[in-house]
Amino acid sequence: MKMFKKIVIGILIIVVVTIAFTQHQQNKKYERYISLEVRNSLLNVINATIFCNHIFSEIYQANEITYEQVQLLRHSFGIIGPSTHRLISIAQIYNENVPQGIFAANAEMDIYILQQFADILVKEGDSILLTEEQIYTIKCFNLIIAGFIDEIEKKIAGVYVPDAEEIKEFYFGEGRYIVDIDVWNKYYGDNMVRHKDWQKLLWALDEAYREKYDF
């Protein structure tokens, strides 16, 4: 009888340990999957934000806007909004207190602001000179997004912001990245979701927008 009890207890221990180990492995797989989601969404936000800043700088310096620039900006803002919302939804899994997502909402609102140009610039090669009011709007965009990039550089390891001469190589060439992948792999590994940098960035982006607009 005693031997039977020992066998039963031994089997139970093995079952419990096996279940715990399996659950641990599943949790690790889930965190790796979520970390990949964080990584991809964060890259999207960083890439699109830097590219928007470059386009706005071009527009402000030329005092005109082209059909191609409007389309590139609408595309970039269309990436920033959903990617930021995705990061916020992931942050909610691990924290009760998360940013409001003002940065993401602003990106989505900017698409509608750009619509005024899209209604005029309807085909490739079209361009218009900007009014003083429009120049001021573009300048505000440029300053705000430059502030966002400052926060990205402060909060996220391995970010490289290309200058105007390099930008085409990064976005239209091959083999160049806005972030140093080696630094990311070393610093964040495959468990980026557990690092606080990206969550701090979400708060910083919202705060940067509040400061500019007294939101």
Burial class (CB in 10 A: 0-12, 13-18, 19+), 19: exposed
User: Quick one: tokens of 188?
Assistant: 């964040």
For residue 215, the model assigns a pLDDT of 42
Mind listing the pLDDT tens digit of every residue in the chain (215 residues)? 666 565 656 665 665 555 555 555 566 666 777 888 998 899 888 988 888 888 888 888 888 888 888 888 888 888 888 898 899 888 888 776 777 677 676 666 666 677 777 777 667 777 888 888 888 888 887 888 888 888 888 888 888 888 777 776 666 555 556 788 888 888 888 888 888 888 888 888 888 777 665 54
**Type of residue at 34:** I
31 contacts: CB under 8 Å, gap ≥ 6:
191, 193, 194
Q: Is the dihedral of CA 112, 139, 172, 205 positive or negative?
A: negative
> Could you tell me the residue range of the domain that residue 175 belongs to?
2-213
pLDDT of residue 13: 62
- DSSP code per residue over 90-155: HHHHH-S-----HHHHHHHHHHHHHHHHHTT--STT-EEEPPHHHHHHHHHHHHHHHHHHHHHHHH
pLDDT at residue 188, rounded to an integer? 83
Token representation of residue 50: 């830097």
Total residues belonging to the chain: 215
Query: Residue 70: CA atoms inside 13 Å, Cβ hemisphere, count?
Result: 22
For residue 158 the two structure tokens come to: 């391995």
Give the H or E element holding residue 79: helix 67-94
Angstrom distance (rounded) from CA 188 to CA 206: 23
Could you give the number of structural domains in the chain? 1
Q: The dihedral of CA 51, 53, 57, 60: what is its sign?
A: positive
